[in-house]
Structures are given as C-alpha cells and as structure tokens.
Amino acid sequence: MKITLKDIGRRYNNEWIFRHINYTFESGKSYAILGHNGSGKSTFLKVLSSSLTPSAGELIYTYGEEVLSVDQIYQQLSLAAPYVELIEEFTLNELIDFHFKFKNYLPSFDKETVVSLLGLEHALDREIRFFSSGMRQRVKLALACCSASSLVLLDEPTSNLDSAGEEWYLNLIDRAKLKSRILVVCSNQKKEYEFCDETISILDFKA
C-alpha cells in the first residue's frame, strides 16, 4: 500500500492546524508523527485515515495498481486511539469475535494467539466496562495490531500503560510489524516510536 499526500492542510475556522504537507507513506515502513499535546497529531491521523477531509490538498491511496476511493479505506486500516472506545457491554470473548468478523487475523495469528498475547485468559468472560484503563488499552492495541490491515494507526499507544505495559507494547509491535503494512505512531514520547524508520514533526507544517 502507498499513501501520497499532495499539499495537504487542515484548518478549523480560520486557523490552520497544519499546511503544505507533501509526503509518501509506503508499506514496510514505520512512521512517527511528532509534536506536543494539542499540536495537531491526532487531527493529522484522522485526515490520514480519511475520517476527516483535508481543507486543502489531496490524498491518494494506492493498493497494488489500484487507486482506492475514500469509502474503501476503512477496509484497509486498523486504529487504536484514546478517542476510539471499546463496546463496554461486550465480554472480552464477544469483543474479539465481533472485531474479527470485520477484520482478518494476521497470518499465523488466531483468537487463541491474541488472547495469549493479551495475557487476559482469566478475563475472557468479563465485560469490558469492568476492565481497568490499562487492560482496555492493551485490548485496543492488540485488536489493531493483530488485524491483517495494510495501514495501522496508533495514537498515544502507551497511554494508561505502566512500565510492564510499555514493554508489552514494544513486544506486540515486534511481533506484528510486517513488510506488507504501513505503521504510523502519533507520539511525543520517544519510547513509543524509537523503532520507527522515519519521523515527521507536525510543527514543521504550521502555517
């Protein structure tokens, strides 16, 4: 997969959050989107995922030789972010089954692998609303990274994780990083993105 950004910008009212971004994201690479809180990283991620329309410029999504339309992008991506909530009434068992009705597992992954990776075998029949914030974050990350998606977007991936959870996250990335996908991490903490191949600072694209 390839995503080409041509003079992309996004504004709210008269204020430009970022502007004049020309860049290409390619399969097999990991990218870090950097900037302080409130700098526009999450907004950029929403534009990249096509959930927000750019105020200027053009995004071109290419899958093999095919140019994808905006309404096809959701089929190719997985997202874990603080503003994306899990279905609290589901048990973990139900949530995993529900998620993978719409997404395929990564090659060599299955439900048992995901549960083992989470380390939450004891909580399979517990409703998500009774999970701690750290447990919820692990579930979000595992569902996103263990899906066979060409584009994986992670916003502040270690939020609500303790030091053990941060190590778990890095292990997850190591296991789920494939040549056939684009991985994008929005962060202002080096430990979350040290493995990335390229970095992009939103502050370089302020109007």
Per DSSP, helices labelled H in the chain are: 41-48, 92-102, 111-118, 133-145, 163-176, 190-193
Question: What pLDDT was estimated at residue 34?
Answer: 97
Question: What pLDDT was estimated at residue 114?
Answer: 96
Question: What pLDDT was estimated at residue 207?
Answer: 64
Question: What pLDDT was estimated at residue 184?
Answer: 97
Q: pTM for this structure?
A: 0.94
- Position 91, amino acid: T
Domains of the chain in sequence order: 2-205 (3.40.50.300)
Distance CA 31, CA 183 (A): 6
By three-state DSSP, how is residue 107 classified?
A: coil
- Position 127, amino acid: E
Question: What pLDDT was estimated at residue 148?
Answer: 95
Which residues of the chain fall below pLDDT 70? 207
Question: What pLDDT was estimated at residue 179?
Answer: 75
Question: What pLDDT was estimated at residue 177?
Answer: 78
- Helices 92-102 and 133-145, interaxial angle, to 10°? 30
> Which pair of structure tokens corresponds to residue 58?
């053009």
Distance CA 40, CA 152 (A): 19
